[in-house]
Amino acid sequence: MTATTDGSAGAVSPRTAVDGETTDTALPERAAPAPGRLDETAARAAARAAEHLLARQDPAGWWKGDLETNVTMDAEDLLLRQFLGILDPDTARAAALHVRREQREDGTWSTFYGGPGELSTTVEAYVALRLAGDPPDAPHMARASAWVRAHGGIADTRVFTRIWLALFGWWRWEDLPELPPEMLFLPKWFPLNIYDFGCWARQTIVPLTVVSAKRPVRPAPFPLDELHTDPARPNPPRPLAPATGWDGIFQRIDKALHLYHRVAPRPVREVAVNLAAQWIVERQENDGCWGGIQPPAVYSIIALHLLGYDLGHPVMRAGLESLDRFALWREDGSRMIEACQSPVWDTCLATIALADAGLPPDHPALVKAVDWMLDEEITRTGDWAVRRPGLPPGGWAFEFHNDNYPDTDDTAEVLLALRRVRHPDPARVEAAAARGTRWTLGMQSRDGAWGAFDADNTSVLPNKLPFCDFGEVVDPPSADVTAHVVEMLAHEGLAGDPRTLRGIDWLLAAQEPDGGWFGRWGVNLVYGTGSVLPALAAAGIPASHPAVRRAVAWLGSVQNEDGGWGEDLRSYQDEQWVGRGASTASQTAWALIALLAAGERESEPVRRGVAWLTATQLPDGSWDEPYFTGTGFPWDFSINYHLYRQVFPLTALGRYAHGEPSLRKEG
């Protein structure tokens, strides 16, 4: 057994080759329960899972599982500390322990468990180990550098990786896309203004405009010649794309911006840089972070440092302290950096799971969770108001502190959780629910659907910029978010509201040809379908509806032989992986939640899925899940939410054993 930082135990599972890639097979199953006893088996499994989850609640009322991504978080944390001159040996040694453990046999690092080696991730991990003292001729380092050279070297890495290298002179600033701070002058209606970008992107881009303007270079602690295909020519020119397409147009605009960098009027640039600094400081959260996520905090600290903020300045001190809170120290002395923390999301999902598993609605743990969630309600205006200036605030964010960016997904799930609990102050719950519902309705996009953080954040231009070669930089509506909102609105008595009906119409039109729905924030069609079918059922769409029947048929067609469901992250790039992957507890639960909502409780796929969940449950009531089933950016940035393996199986087993949830409105 292997220990995990979230307190659960994980079983080591066998490995097998699939299409040339190494992945883990499903966990070995126990004996399947007898058909007539499945109800009882499921109820006992749910009870054990509930006991396990209850034991993990914080005394303040919240739950939070580890949020695992990839080693670029750890590498960039070390690079930041090296840049600021505060990297200490103990931190470097602890981070290196984690980075080395994640290295694949071929010398590379991947962006998700069982995934293929990825160039930029491998380069950043390699540099982190060099900072920690690993020599380049060590066998594990030599394997990594040879693979990097064979796959194009530093020159073929993404822009963000080369920005980090440029900070130490390992790459030339002149060979990076230009990000002028003058872009902050663009009015909100003008193309490519900062509010055309998703909130996570604008929080990163604004500080990077300062970094781009200053082009700092700290002395490199060592050369990186071994990561270039040709050390004598490390920065090969990139060919221009044809001027008739967006790529070619923006490449030529970038060339013009590089010329502007040389002649930019000093007074204009100073005003732009100071405006960026003001924007950054105004958006620092009470705990010192920016947006509750690590990357904007890292770049904001660099930008402010370049503008003369010393490390003892209150803004800088709070920012660095917030980054320390993203670090998870393990018993073996290693250190892993979370890209983000998910207490609101985890708490509302845990509340839903426990309630659906039969915990009394006035159980002290549920009441305490609701108390905490009510305290986390956001009642101040944030950047979302740029597109919705007259909308009163309300709703919830994902993290402990992120008042600038509540999101519709968390808000919908929090409201669904509140309605499962009998709280001693129903008036307080009703007031918060009313504000959250009003705000969520106001965030509906013009097409009738919902994005996560902003309304109508659908411009096609930001993704075309040479700078934006990694991940999503806009926040268009998605099926999973829209489904959660529709489900919430239906339970708030608004199933027949014209705005809800527009959301339902959008969902029906967004169904994929095979019968599933795309999952933006979870992997992938299994997650999207697991979100949409409960929403349609809550809104009164009958189980006989053709869209529901197609979805049910698709889920049945992709069920694994062992009875579970799984979908690999490669499904975002390769259709052959859609609905295909080793069975996981969370994805099996999503499929079961969908099928139960569609009235399929007595079907063979449901019985086999429930049997798989009960057979793979660990003795302590938890499940093991090394796979990444969460999504930051489809394919580019993947997440293993360590609590998913607990809350979703409990929800599915609870609904199988006790029926679909019955939500309450007070008063």
- Three-state SS at 24: strand
49, 465, 480, 634 from 485: Cα distances, Å: 27, 31, 9, 21
Q: In 102-232, which residue ranges form alpha helices assigned H by DSSP? A: 119-131, 139-150, 159-166, 199-214
| Cα four-point dihedral sign 657, 662, 663, 667 | negative
Q: Where are the alpha helices (DSSP H) in 56-107?
A: 72-84, 89-101
Residue 367 is encoded by which pair of tokens? Answer: 């009441």
> Rounded to an integer, what distance in angstroms lies between the CA atom of residue 515 and that of residue 537?
16
Measured CA angle at 632 (ends 627, 638), to 5 deg: 25
List b or e across 91-121, with b for residues whose CB sees 16 or more CB atoms inside 10 angstroms. Answer: bbebbbbbbbebbbeebbbbbbbbbebbbbb
Measured in whole angstroms, the distance separating CA 264 from the mean position of its chain's CA atoms is 37
CA atoms of 125 and 75, how far apart (whole Å): 6
From the list 77, 409, 562, 624, the catalytic residue is 409
H-helix or E-strand spanning residue 637: strand 637-641
Q: Cα(194)–Cα(518) distance, rounded to whole angstroms?
A: 27
User: Is 568 an annotated catalytic residue?
Assistant: no
Eight-class DSSP state of 154: G
Both tokens of 136, joined, read: 């380049």
3-state secondary structure of 367: helix
* Burial 36-72, CB ≥16 within 10 A → b, else e: eebeebbbbbbbbbbebbbebbeeebbbbbbbbbbbb
The set of catalytic residues is 409
